[in-house]
Structure 1
Amino acid sequence: MGTWFFVPDRSNAIGDVRPGYLSRNGERVVLTYCSETLALLLGRIRQLEEEFAPRWGGLAAQAEA
């Protein structure tokens, strides 16, 4: 997420949920309605990057040859 730090929803032992937020330089943007969706999206992006990285290495080697 670049310079932004993502903090997902948090819940305590009795089930109270605190919404997630984005944070940068002391600034905080609360994600009241979309924190879970953003967490799923970022997880999927991370998974795609991990799956693609080995392929990209192979493609880069072929391009250099």
Structure 2
Amino acid sequence: MMIWGCLFPLIHSNALSSILGVLWIGGWMIFAPLKREIVIKKIGPKLDAKYPLTVNRIDKNKKVK
């Protein structure tokens, strides 16, 4: 994403630059929640199994009311 953002000055067409800018911002908006879900669902349990004493979520074992 950062490389894509750095290449914006190389685009000479204003319309194409605007379209790519909107797609770039949309990509960041989609990637933020996706990254959070990947960390919580995939990486978190593996780290909890490997390092059980370093669980960083305090209320992990609480039941949701």
- Can you give the 5+ residue segments of structure 1 that lack an aligned partner in the other structure? 7-21
Q: Specify whether residues 55 and 49 from structure 1 end up closer, same or farther in structure 2 by C-alpha distance, changes over 3 A only.
A: same
In 2: Cα distance, 1:2 partner to 1:40 partner: 15
Q: Which of these two proteins has the greater Rg computed from alpha carbons?
A: 2
- The structure whose residues are more often helix, as a share, is 2
TM-score by structure 1 length? 0.51
Select the structure that is richer in strand.
Answer: 1
Q: Could you state the TM-score of these two structures normalised by the residue count of structure 2?
A: 0.51
Identify the structure with bigger relative contact order (alpha carbons < 8 Å, sequence gap 6+).
Answer: 2
Structure 1 residue runs of 4+, over 2 Å off? none
SS of residue in 1 equivalent to 2:34: helix
Cα-Cα RMSD: 2.3
